[in-house]
Amino acid sequence: MTGDDSIFGKLFELFQSSGPVNWRLADEVRKSLVGAAEPIEPSLADEYAELAVAAQMRLDPVMRLPLGQPGDLQPVDGTVWATDNQRSFAYAIEPLAGKFGAGLADPSNPMAAMLAPMGPAVLGMQAGTMVGFMAHHTLGRFDTGLPALGIERMYLVVPNVEAFAADHGLDRRQVRLWAACHEVANHVILAVPWVASRITALTADFASSVRFDPSKLTETLQGMNDPGALEGMLGGPGGLAGLLGGEHDPERLGPIQALVASIEGYGDHVVRLALTEVAPDLDRIEEAWRRRRAEPNQAEQFLAQLIGLKLERRHAGDATHLFAEIERRWAAIDRVWSSPESVPTLAELTDPVGWAARVLLTDPLAEPE
């Protein structure tokens, strides 16, 4: 196939879409990035599957949220995780469709008007790219940054968990239990009735402030002489979306960052309480985890490039310390999940007294010191 044939085939795919996002194209992009399946040794899969019960037994005394019945934990490779979770981030992608079309449908810009129908395909390619990159990196649903919603199952991506342990010289069995505890804790938090809807609402509110400027895109395409360069641009982490110059309201970013940090920080806190006595390598595991989380992965870079949604996962460390202080001073970490209003603000992540004054003073059973 010549370069011209390839690029025209790509463009043909771009214009074949239905709905706000071309999910068929997302699937194809995801498959090309994830690659072949990685078979999991049956005995290892059995060990992982049994970890859910062990994790819940360890978490039960320290979590004040209802754990419910032990759920199934799916030990999978990246291909299965990516297939099952492709649409778990639809709530972050689909609200952009109208913004994308509005940004490109400019009658005074012929190039932009011509590109407007490409919106669903571009978003589909970016959705597939994001999940495809995640599949090579994420340890489970607890490790996606922006939460994966809409699926009730718990997962651990076995090759990635094993690689995390090996890369940092950590005891594999301790890392497996640590990862299982995180996955269970994340599952419990997302099962709180209002949490998932709050994540969706905050993300939609943020997306409503996004404005795309197609001028950078049209300038790039007009100056492009090599057909292969367009293929490279479409296949990159930022892709076409990274050239749209998305602007947003920064004041709407803080609530998302605070909620995501609270979810991750709560997980860090309860997992430490659960494993302190049984995981000698816990300090080293947590240090490796903090370093890893401090470096934005390609999926996080996609969200930042597309719409400015910078999660700043370093805030999770602040939230971890906040929960430790709330537990030490007032034994009231369950209050954080009592309502959307009880979630710490971004400023309160480093101000436990400020959070307590705002939240606990309304509860006569949990007066701050």
Predicted confidence (pLDDT) per residue in 81-102, tens digit: 999 999 999 999 898 887 766 6
- Identify residue 188 by its one-letter amino acid code: V
Say if CB 299 and CB 144 are below 8 A apart.
yes
Ramachandran class of 150: left when φ > 0, alpha when ψ lies in -120 to 50, beta otherwise:
left
pLDDT score of 1: 46
State phi, psi for 289 to the nearest 5 degrees.
Answer: -65, -45
pLDDT score of 179: 99
pLDDT score of 23: 92
pLDDT score of 250: 80
pTM for the full predicted model: 0.86
Percentages of the chain per state (helix, strand, coil), in multiples of 5? 65, 5, 30
Distance from C-alpha of 130 to C-alpha of 133, rounded to nearest angstrom: 5
- Sign of torsion, CA 114 117 118 119? positive
pLDDT score of 368: 47
Domain ranges of the chain: 3-313, 314-369
Which stretches of the chain drop beneath a pLDDT of 50?
Answer: 1-3, 237-238, 364-369
